[in-house]
Amino acid sequence: MSKDELLVIDRVTKRFGGLVAVNDVNIEVKKGEILGLIGPNGSGKTTLFNVITGLYSPDGGTITFKGEKIEGLKPHKIAQKGIGRTFQVVRPFGNMSVLENIMVSGMFCAHEKEKKCDIEDRCHGLLKLTNLEDRVNVNAEMLSLVEKRRLEIARALALDPELLLLDETMAGLTHTEVDEALTMIENIKREYGLTIMVVEHIMRAIMRISERIVVLNEGKIIAEGSPKKVANDKNVLEAYLGKKVV
Amino acid sequence: MLEIKSQLGKLNSLTLSLAFLAIIGIFGLFAESSYTSYFYGMVELLILAYSLNIITGFSGYANFGHVVFYGLGAYFVASFITLLHPLGFIPHTFLIVIAAGGAVALLALLIGVVVLRLRGDYFAIATLGIVFAIETTIRNIKWLGEGRGLYFIGKIPLYDIKILYSYLLIIAFAVVLTSALILRRRLGYGLRAIRDDEDVAEVMGVNTAKYKVMAYAISAFFAGMAGGVMALFFSTAFPEYFLMGRSVEMFAAIILGGVGTLLGPLIGATVFWMIKDALLINFPYYHLIFFGITLIALILFFPKGILGLLNRLLAKKGKVLR
């Protein structure tokens, strides 16, 4: 393992009864890159995220983050080590205000000694970045879908992570909203020097922001490489569209 | 404490509840004893409602067995006095009450570590089980007086209700301040996050297991002290203190006032006590029927409690009470 790898997923397997959701997957995420993770529905992308963040413990294999093994740790420990994530189906804390939502992860991230007012300042900065400034005191429940997705990103960033996992942050957005989201993600990466893993179904988006793409199908990696290479890969086309008959 | 100090100058939930407590406190202390006992019951319910609110309101874990801590507090006070009396050394009874609260909190810590692994309905049912288990155990221990109760009459001086009322007032002020403090600290943010989505809270760095148990123990501490004062009142700890109806009362009080808020338990407990008393006097035979109907109506029309209704009116002025 070389030094510039932030996250190493080594032969990770996750089974649900007879179903192997993630099957012997190896992925190395380099520091500072945006790695796209694509695959048809049910190919194990979200399960893999859940395994990385500790919501599921893997049935086999190891996950190394910054040189430390993290598989089997409690999710809050993993979060405090610097992995933030968003959820495919948005899950803001509905009865808390937008600011309070972000304050939660701001307060529980690694710097324990940070004062409350400093955390609040940091959170206000994140609200500005995610364009939620004028919604500070609104209940998170009342936000629109786009705003909720942006809130989830802000909330993950408040953890001050080194690795950000974005799980379909653009699903259900309009064309213009997708463009805005892409610009925002690029800004975030530049400003915070983050490493980002993106799961996305919108091909236009994933092709534009990813530097490298890994394709999963039925829990296995079927292709890996630059967006261009992956888009023309025979296995990928088959997985998405089926085999040519004639 | 700074956060609390900065709140005191303004008109908000904290100052309102402290002011209200001070008013009924002074009134109860200087009025005739019959009025004092009326306020005694009100403040006791208020403490129980606030303490239940810390676990059930803030973290969303429906605790139907909160009464168990109230009963245990009484038994701890009775046991401490029974144990200390032969030694000829009885500390100030308020100290015994605090010690009982601490013992209850410790016990809650142990119970919580096991029970708080359950979520939702399963947790609620387990809390019911705890009440029955502990009550039945106590009813079968000879040293604790079995079904008769543990008497310590004569081992401490008989108290005037006003002195015990002042004990309750101190506990009430403490539980209100503690609730306010929790809401402004990491613990409060963590608990509220747990209420909305426990898995997400965990992924956002909240040590959910630890925070739930902490809230459970803190709420047990205050309920235990209220029960301890009750034991002093009768110089006895009765197994009847574990009556399920008490649990229902505190639960109804926080729902009536506004779950998970700072002002809600105060409004809920006060209104609950007043309605209950008025109905009992006016309809001695049918009061529970009317009481049930009133509660159902209130909850149907104001799901967010009386505080929610107040906030709807205040919203026009751009104010919110928490």
Residue from B137, B141, B151 nearest B107 by CA: B137
Q: Which of A76, A95, A103 sits opposite B202 (nearest CB)?
A: A76
Domain residue spans in chain A?
5-241
Q: Is A95 on the interface with B (CB under 8 A)?
A: yes
pLDDT for residue B237 is more than 70: yes
Res. A110 pLDDT band, cuts 50 70 90: low
Q: Is B196 on the interface with A (CB under 8 A)?
A: yes
Domains of chain B: 2-244 (1.10.3470)
Q: Is B207 on the interface with A (CB under 8 A)?
A: yes
The CA distance from B110 to A94, in Å, is: 31
Q: Look at residue A130 and give its three-state secondary structure.
A: coil
**Token duo for residue A160:** 């001050």
Q: Provide the chain A residues 135-164 that lie in CB contact (below 8 A) with chain B.
A: 155-156, 159
B183 to chain A: closest CA residue: A100
Cβ distance of B207 and A74 shorter than 8 Å: yes
pTM, two decimals, is 0.91
The predicted-structure confidence for A161-185, as pLDDT tens digits, reads as follows 999 999 998 888 899 999 999 999 9
The predicted-structure confidence for A128-168, as pLDDT tens digits, reads as follows 988 898 988 899 999 999 999 999 999 999 999 999 999 99
Q: Which of A54, A94, A105 sits opposite B204 (nearest CB)?
A: A105
- pLDDT score of A120: 87
The CATH fold assigned to A5-241 is Rossmann fold (3.40.50)
Q: Which of A53, A76, A87 sits opposite B207 (nearest CB)?
A: A76
A161 to chain B: closest CA residue: B204
pLDDT for residue B208 is more than 60: yes
Q: Which residues of A36-70 are buried (b: 16+ CB within 10 A; e: fewer)?
A: bbbbeeebbbbbbbbbbbbbbebeebebbbeeeeb
Q: Which of B186, B193, B208 sits opposite A93 (nearest CB)?
A: B193
Distance from the Cα of B194 to chain A's closest Cα (Å) equals: 9
Query: In chain B, what residues touch A100 (CB-CB under 8 Å)?
Result: 189, 192
- pLDDT score of B3: 65
Cβ distance of A108 and B202 shorter than 8 Å: no
Mean pLDDT of A105-117: 81
Q: Is A232 on the interface with B (CB under 8 A)?
A: no
The CA distance from A92 to A95, in Å, is: 9
Cβ contacts of A238 within 8 Å, gap of 6 or more: none
Residue from B235, B192, B230, B185 nearest B212 by CA: B192
What is the value of ipTM here, to two decimals? 0.90
Q: How many residues does chain B have?
A: 322
